[in-house]
A = this chain, B = another copy of it.
Amino acid sequence: MENNQKSSPYKVQVLERSLGILELLCSDGPELSLIELSERLQLHKSTTHRLVGVLEQHRFIEKSLNNGKYRLGLKLFELGSKAIAHLDWREKARHHLQRLAFETGETAHLCILDDGEVLYLEKFEAPRTVRVPSIVGRRYPAHCGGAGKTLLAFQPEEEVGELVKSRGLKAYTRNTLTTPAQLREGLRRVREQGYAVDNEEFEEGLECIGAPIRDYSGRVVAAISIAGPTFRITEEKLPVLALTVMEVARELSADLGYHEVEASKEPAAVDEEAQVTA
C-alpha cells in the first residue's frame, strides 16, 4: 500500500519536497500562492520560497502575472512531450483516432496503462460535440471504464491481482465492479468480445467503449475508446459502435505491424507473460 515502487530506498529531502511542490500544483488547483504551498506541504514558508525560486529559474514553474501565484511552467510541457516521444505508435494513432471520432460522432481517446492507472494520451472530439474539459494527461482508475477494462483484460493475471491489492476497487457508481470476482468476470468478457463496455461504471450518464491496440509483437500496448452520454450511446446502438471501435483498433494495430494470424490464441499469450513474471 505505502510504497509500490520496488527499488531505491533513498531519501533526499530537498528533492522530495521540490517534487512535492510540482505534484501539488498538478493535483490541487492550477495556481497556488507561496503560503498555500507551504501550508499544504507542511513546509516553512522560507523553505518553500527558496525551492520555488529555483524551480522558477529553471522554468519548471512560473509566476502568474496577475496574482503572483505559482503554476506549472512550460518547461514541463517540453519534458512531457519528450517523455512520450518513445511511444512511437502514438503518432500513428492520431489519424485513426480522428477517424473514429468522425465516424461515431463521439469523443475518441487513446490510453495506456501506467503505474496501474489509465493515462489519457490523446483525445479527438467530433466537431459537433459539446466541448468537454481536457482530460489528456490525466489518470483514472483502471478497474472501470471501457479503456481501463480493455487494458487490464490483456494484462497478466498476477499484475491485475497486485493492482487490485494495492489500489483496491473503489466504487464510483452503483455499477462499478468492486469485487475481484466481478472484475475477473468482466475482463473475461472483454477478452471474449474483443471490446469493453463501460456500463456507467465510472460516472452516471457516461458510456464508453474500448478496444485494444497491439503492436508488431502482439502485445497490447494501448487502448482506444469512445465516450459519450448514455442517451446517445444507447443499448441498441452499442453493437454498431463497438464494431466501429474494433474496426479502427484493428486497422491501427495492423498499421503498427500486427498480423492477426499470430493472435489465434490470445489468452495463451497472456498466460505466457504470466509465466515469465512468475
Q: Mark A residues whose CB is within 8 Å of B.
A: 5, 7-12, 14-16, 18-19, 22-23, 25-26, 30-31, 50-51, 53-60, 71-74, 76-86, 91-92, 95, 98, 114-115, 119, 121, 125, 127, 131, 134, 136-139
Interchain CA distance A96-B30 in the complex, whole Å = 26
Q: Which residues of B contact A50 (CB under 8 A)?
A: 10, 12
Question: Do A74 and B114 have beta carbons less than 8 Å apart?
Answer: yes
Contacting pair A7 B137 (CB below 8 A): no
**Is A59 in contact with B8, judged by CB distance below 8 angstroms?**
no
Report yes or no: B12 in contact with A56, Cβ–Cβ below 8 A.
no
Min CB gap A138→B, angstroms: 7
**Contacts A78-B137, A83-B73 known; A57 to B95 CB distance under 8 Å?**
no
- Other A-B pairs beyond A76-B79, A78-B137, A78-B139, 20, CB < 8 Å: A5-B56, A5-B57, A9-B53, A12-B18, A12-B51, A12-B54, A15-B15, A15-B55, A19-B58, A30-B85, A30-B86, A59-B115, A71-B86, A76-B82, A77-B80, A78-B80, A78-B138, A80-B80, A81-B134, A81-B136
Contact of A53 among B8, B115, B119 (CB under 8 A): B8
Q: Which residues in B have their C-beta under 8 angstroms from that of A14?
A: 12, 14-15
Copy total for this chain: 2
Residue in B7, B51, B137 whose CB lies within 8 Å of A81: B137
Q: Within the complex, what minimum Cβ distance (angstroms) separates A213 from chain B?
A: 17
Whether B16 lies near A15 (C-beta < 8 A) is no
What are 19 pairs between A and B in contact, CB < 8 Å?
A5-B56, A7-B53, A7-B57, A15-B18, A15-B54, A18-B18, A26-B79, A30-B82, A31-B86, A73-B83, A74-B83, A74-B115, A74-B119, A76-B83, A77-B121, A79-B137, A80-B80, A80-B137, A92-B131
| A127 near B95: Cβ-Cβ < 8 Å | yes
Which has the most chain B C-beta neighbours within 10 Å: A80, A82, A83? A83
- Tell me the smallest distance from the CB of A255 to a CB of chain B, in Å: 11
Minimum CB distance partner of A81 in chain B: B137
> Whole-angstrom distance between the alpha carbons of A58 and B98 in the complex?
33
Closest to A131 in B: B91
A69 to chain B, nearest CB (A): 11
